[in-house]
Amino acid sequence: MSKFYDNLWYSKTLRNIQMRIGTILELNQVAKKIFIPVLNRLHRHPISDEVERLAEAGAEHFEFTVDLLMVHSKTRDVFTAERKRLAEMAKSRGFTYSFHLPVSGGFCTGSAWEGVRKGSVQWLKEFVEWAKPMEPWGYNMHSKALDDLCCLDLGPDEKRSYAVQKIYEYFVNKLIVPLEKLSIEEIKKFMDPAKIFLENTHYADYYLFGNFPNTCGYSVCMDVGHIYLARQTVHEFVKKYGRVLRHVHLHDVIERPERKPWGRRDHFALGTGMVDVKGVIGELAKINFSGAIVLEVYYHDPADSIRYLKRAIEEQEQAGRKA
């Protein structure tokens, strides 16, 4: 009998799905309109024009990668000039924005090097102030400290045994987590740390964090493609971190046996690989997820994947109404 009521409740959650359809604006792609003189003359608003184009396909949330902004003054100047127009678009069209914090350049809020850790927090403070006119929904962040730990050469894969796992756990619990907690206390002085979405990556085992993401003050970003690369499950991730899950990255994954050590490659267009998009929507509906599903599609025009995701959500809603 309980299974019947579970299914009834589940069907009701699919009737009015509140997830926002989003896409990442890969600034490395937009950059050619900024740096190539001919294209630059044709595109006076290279960033907001791309937002307009993808909005026509159905996107309502837009995420910007920060790496290029961080290392080149010209892209930073162009984006700065576009902030007002983007903010006006958000108010008039109901758009929301987020930023993907740097994965390069040394940004690491859990670094054991105090200068790097404190410098990262200070840079974040300055960047949050810079982005304030756009009223971002949040800031996506990799744990670079965890990534770097899990990329250490601790011997051949067959030797990644119980002992190696214990080494990882020791460094996470005794070093990375305490340092992240220290950074969180400093971050609280200028922003709500819940607006930072701590993302799982394919370089590291996110579950090494244990319950830390549920209690630390950060929110969680679930990257579906990274889950597939790690041969884990969306159900397992949502079950453990659903309470603080505020953001999702979605992209397809294809088999590539030559790609070591995962044998798979991510960031492909939806519908071209193994990701069960409707299954992902279903798992998110179970927790009444109302954040943004951001498409991280790098090898194809994201407009096609935006339409694919929109159809998948509509079909799930229709299935819920019929149930």
- Whether the per-residue pLDDT at 68 is higher than 80: the answer is no
pLDDT level of residue 201 (50, 70, 90 thresholds): very high
Token readout for 161 is 């045994």
Tell me which amino acid residue 290 is.
S
Contacts of 24 (CB under 8 A, 6+ apart): 62, 63, 64, 65, 100, 249, 294, 295, 296, 297, 302
Per-residue burial over 197-215, b if 16 or more Cβ lie within 10 Å, else e, is bbbbbbbbbbebbeebbee
Give the per-residue pLDDT at 9.
39
Measured from the Cβ of residue 286, the count of other Cβ atoms closer than 10 Å reads 17
Q: What's domain 2-322's superfamily in CATH?
A: Divalent-metal-dependent TIM barrel enzymes (3.20.20.150)
Q: What is the pLDDT of residues 280-301, one digit of tens each?
A: 999 999 999 999 999 999 888 8
Residue length, the chain? 323
Q: What's the alpha-carbon Rg for the chain, to the nearest Å?
A: 20
Please tell me the predicted confidence (pLDDT) of residue 10.
41
β-sheet bridge partners, residue 100: 65, 140
Q: Distances in Å between the alpha carbon of 183 and those of 58, 117, 178, 209, 310?
A: 37, 7, 9, 16, 38
Q: How much is the pLDDT for 3?
A: 46
Q: What is the mean pLDDT of the chain?
A: 87
Hey, what long-range contacts does 46-55 have (CB within 8 A, 24 or more apart)? 46/78, 46/82, 47/78, 47/79, 47/82, 47/86, 48/82, 48/85, 48/86, 48/89, 50/25, 51/25, 51/86, 51/89, 51/95, 52/89, 53/303, 54/23, 54/25, 54/302, 54/303, 54/306, 55/93, 55/95
Domain locations in the chain as residue ranges: 2-322
* Least confident piece of the model among 9-13, 152-156, 170-174, 253-257: 9-13
Cβ proximity of 29 and 53 under 8 Å:
no
Given this model, what pLDDT does residue 15 score?
47
pTM of the model: 0.90
Question: For residue range 213-234, what is the model confidence (pLDDT) as tens digits?
Answer: 999 999 999 999 999 999 999 9
Do the Cβ atoms of 83 and 48 come closer than 8 Å?
no
Q: Are 186 and 122 in contact (CB under 8 A)?
A: no
- For 111-126, what is the mean pLDDT? 97
The pLDDT value recorded for residue 157 is 58
Q: Which of 301, 244, 308 is nearest to 21 (CA)?
A: 308
As beta bridge partners, residue 20 has: 292
Q: Which residue is associated with the tokens 């837009």?
A: 62
Question: Mean pLDDT throughout 128-140?
Answer: 96
Mean pLDDT to the nearest integer, 200-206: 90
pLDDT score for 27: 65
Record the tokens describing residue 72, joined without a space: 């080149």
